[in-house]
Amino acid sequence: MAQPKKAASIWDVARLAGVSHQTVSRVVNGSPRVAAATRDKVLEAIAELGYRPNRLARSLAGGAAESVTVLTADTSLYGPEAALRGIEKAARALDWSVQISVLDPADTHSDADIIARLPRAGEPTIIMAHDEPGMRAKQVLLDQQPHAMVAIGPYTAEELAASPWLVGMDDGKAAAEATRYLLDLGHATVHHLAIPTSTGTFGGGKAHRAEGWARVLREAGRPVPEPVPSGWTIAEAFKAVQPLVADPEVTAILCGNDHLALATMRAAHLAGRSVPGDLSIVGFDNTPFSAYTTPALTTVNQDFESVGRGAFELLRHRVDGSIPRPVPGWPEPELIVRETSGPPSS
Amino acid sequence: MAQPKKAASIWDVARLAGVSHQTVSRVVNGSPRVAAATRDKVLEAIAELGYRPNRLARSLAGGAAESVTVLTADTSLYGPEAALRGIEKAARALDWSVQISVLDPADTHSDADIIARLPRAGEPTIIMAHDEPGMRAKQVLLDQQPHAMVAIGPYTAEELAASPWLVGMDDGKAAAEATRYLLDLGHATVHHLAIPTSTGTFGGGKAHRAEGWARVLREAGRPVPEPVPSGWTIAEAFKAVQPLVADPEVTAILCGNDHLALATMRAAHLAGRSVPGDLSIVGFDNTPFSAYTTPALTTVNQDFESVGRGAFELLRHRVDGSIPRPVPGWPEPELIVRETSGPPSS
DNA sequence: ATCAGATAGGTGAACGTTCACACCGGGCGG
DNA sequence: CCGCCCGGTGTGAACGTTCACCTATCTGAT
């Protein structure tokens, strides 16, 4: 009974119902030109055999693509994870299936390796291009099948306008806003603990959060300290931020994301510096936990899920030109002031 | 050039190389019975046409399955997310592809809906069965294709032994250990803020963490307070835990996961109760952030990634009996004592 | 009566691959 | 020198769908 007996096909149903395979196909796909009596017979046969349509065959036979592959490097980051959720929801609603393939952050994947991850040539693909492997995958896909790929990443409004295959939020503006907020609070300057992308070491990877931050400092005529580079993990951030929290001159740190901010809070605590009394800390992304740390984290909210949804819609448009190009619509990143920021103590 | 011109097939390569389609297939699949000269001709043709094999067709033609679908309800939970990562890594290593389908936590999915998510009948499937939608999906798949599914969930050693399609960690034991630890510290009793599964309201959902906790209290002859049910989100937990932190009699709380623990820490702080002075808090899962909260969270480490890997291996075994049944091997859940736990203040 | 047009349904090819098997030539043991 | 085996290759069917096109039957207006 638990034996893997072969699954019923459309032909089995057809035979049992006494109709042609095509008629079964029509019933399954809800075609209107089927007599009610016939439809019932077919449905009955379907139920009896436990027939379920085979999606692979369906796609093969030239039906719609109905499948996206998501290439990402790190699913444990809040941004990509939320974007993936957005993609999945949007895809689900249209009955598309979602494949996921995780790029190894350590490995430099060959072009062939990246291509081999796609189930077929021309597979619609969304790439999380926020780090090195993602950037590389983006480049490869852009060469191979520019019309069937979309990349999500941190880009400025100009870049987004210039590249029709790009989706992202201009978080430089939000970084600027956060920096200005800290300056207005009375801080002499603001330091920056940067996520890897923002160090600008990747091909094509610009440092938007860092740029927005630096711009405001320059405009305000403040010293622009060297950004402190951190890895993506909390442990790396904890290590990287040590010199910053040890320096009493440092009174405000803008962190590249909330994980880095958490590490900074921890480091500050261990260094005996009170937050926000001695040190103001601002995060980025509004990760779910950030409202519940003690003190609660001041951060920048970003709606990654909407970005994911937008990427999916854009992809559909690019794969099938007949679908109207979506207007990218989601809330701007927005500063959320909570408890880790305040005026300097002096 | 960016026109989506049709992709090259095995036939195109065959024609260009002047061989049969079967020979191309052999080259692509690395069959040894191809003359070196022929192989080179074919490889050249492949390069020239930019041919990439079509996985859909490959599976259709009766080749190996080489594809898993993961059904999960909440990718933002650390456990499922880490397990998914483990599955993906293991699958990747064998060149399998991974599909993901997210069940709506709010919606009660019909059987048909759940089945419709699978790309084909008999699709190998892994279900994250830690919540209601997951439990339901598990049941449906168990009816439909018991030999091509595996469920991951919180189960006792006995259940795991009894159900050959189950993978999980016996976290009841770890919960017991944590409870005993708190008792040994001198607490009169330990309260429990429970994750949804542990409330036992789901069909088949047992309350292992809660059971382990209750058992130790009973064995020690301590009062067993009513577990406080919480939702999965931090916000829900924050609300649910209010009465607990408000009660000065409560000196120790075992939380169902680290998110709930974070909410409890926050609530305690706002209620003016110091941690661990007035209140000891123990979490569950060792979520990455938990080592960096202030104070750092005492919690139970669980290697979900290994569980994911184990689920994948078990699935392979079940789908293809010729593969040896893997011995589930991963580290036992283990208590990690950090800073949120200590002796009661009295 | 007849014929256009709809309605219901069928037929065969195509999608890109693998599998089972048949074929051909040459080296080797008898 | 015959037959056998084996390396190397081709042939045709199968996988489960959809698509394009064709054929009946029934309706109602001419």
Q: What is the pLDDT of residues B125-165, one digit of tens each?
A: 999 998 888 988 999 999 989 989 999 987 777 788 888 99
DSSP state of A10: H
Minimum Cα–Cα distance from A113: chain B residue: B95
* Dist CA B69 CA A88 (whole Å): 13
DSSP state of B5: P
Query: What pLDDT is recorded for position A250?
Result: 97
Shortest CB distance from A98 goes to which of B2, B100, B293? B100
- Greater confidence (A345 vs A295) lies with A295
Contact residues, chain A, for B95 at CB < 8 Å: 116
Cβ of A81 and B81 within 8 Å? yes
- Mutation target vs B (from A72, A123, A294; most B CBs, 10 A cutoff): A294
Identify any residues that bridge with A337 across adjacent strands, giving them in sequence order: none
The answer to whether A65 faces chain B, any CB pair under 8 Å, is no
Q: What is the pLDDT of residues A277-288, one digit of tens each?
A: 999 999 999 999
Three-state DSSP class for A103?
coil
Q: What is the pLDDT of residues B21-41, one digit of tens each?
A: 999 999 999 888 899 999 999
The answer to whether B56 faces chain A, any CB pair under 8 Å, is yes
Say how far A54 CA is from C23 C1', in Å: 36
For chain A, strand residue ranges (E) read 67-72, 97-102, 125-128, 149-152, 166-167, 191-194, 228-229, 252-255, 280-282, 299-301, 334-336
| pLDDT confidence bin for B95, thresholds 50/70/90 | confident
- Distance separating the N- and C-terminal Cα atoms of chain A: 77
Q: What is the pLDDT of residues B160-199, one digit of tens each?
A: 888 899 998 888 888 999 999 999 999 999 999 999 875 4
Query: What pLDDT is recorded for position B105?
Result: 77
Say how far A23 CA is from C7 C1', in Å: 14
What value does the mean pLDDT of chain A take?
Answer: 90
pLDDT tops 90 at residue A5: no
Three-state DSSP class for A97?
strand
Cβ of B292 and A75 within 8 Å? no
Taking alpha carbons only, the member of A218, A223, A208 closest to residue A175 is: A208
pLDDT tops 60 at residue A201: no
Question: What residues approach strand C to within 7 A at the CB?
Answer: A 19-23, 32-35, 37-39, 57, 60-62; B 6-7, 9-11, 21-22, 25, 28-29, 51-54, 57-58, 60-63
Vertex B28 angle, CA B22 and B31, to 5°: 75
* Dist CA B209 CA B207 (whole Å): 6
Cβ burial of A51 (10 Å; 0-12, 13-18, 19+) is buried
Q: What is the pLDDT of residues B241-258, one digit of tens each?
A: 999 999 999 999 999 999
The CA distance from A215 to the nearest CA of chain B, in Å, is 31
The answer to whether B236 faces chain A, any CB pair under 8 Å, is no
Q: What does the pLDDT average to over B64-80?
A: 89
* Dist CA A211 CA A217 (whole Å): 10
Q: What does the pLDDT average to over A167-174?
A: 86
Contact residues, chain B, for A120 at CB < 8 Å: 7, 52, 54-57
Cβ of B75 and A54 within 8 Å? no
Query: What pLDDT is recorded for position B310?
Result: 95
> Which residues in A96-126 are b (16+ Cβ under 10 Å) and which e?
bbbbbbbbeeeeebeeeebbebbbbbbbbbb
Question: Which helix (H) or strand (E) covers residue B35, if one does?
Answer: none
- Which token pair is A345? 């103590």
Taking alpha carbons only, the member of A80, A74, A130, A79 closest to residue A104 is: A74
- Which token pair is B200? 């036992």
pLDDT tops 70 at residue A202: no
Query: What pLDDT is recorded for position B2?
Result: 42
Q: What does the pLDDT average to over A3-26?
A: 88
| pLDDT confidence bin for A335, thresholds 50/70/90 | very high
| pLDDT confidence bin for A272, thresholds 50/70/90 | very high
Distances (CA, A) of B291 to A78, B44, B304, B331: 18, 54, 17, 19
Query: What pLDDT is recorded for position B5?
Result: 66
Q: What is the pTM of this model?
A: 0.91
Residue nearest to nucleotide D16 (CA to C1'): A57
Cβ of A288 and B99 within 8 Å? no
Enumerate helices (H) and strands (E) in chain A, giving the number of each: 14, 11
Cβ of B265 and A55 within 8 Å? no
Q: What is the pLDDT of residues A126-158, one digit of tens each?
A: 999 988 888 889 999 999 899 899 999 877 777
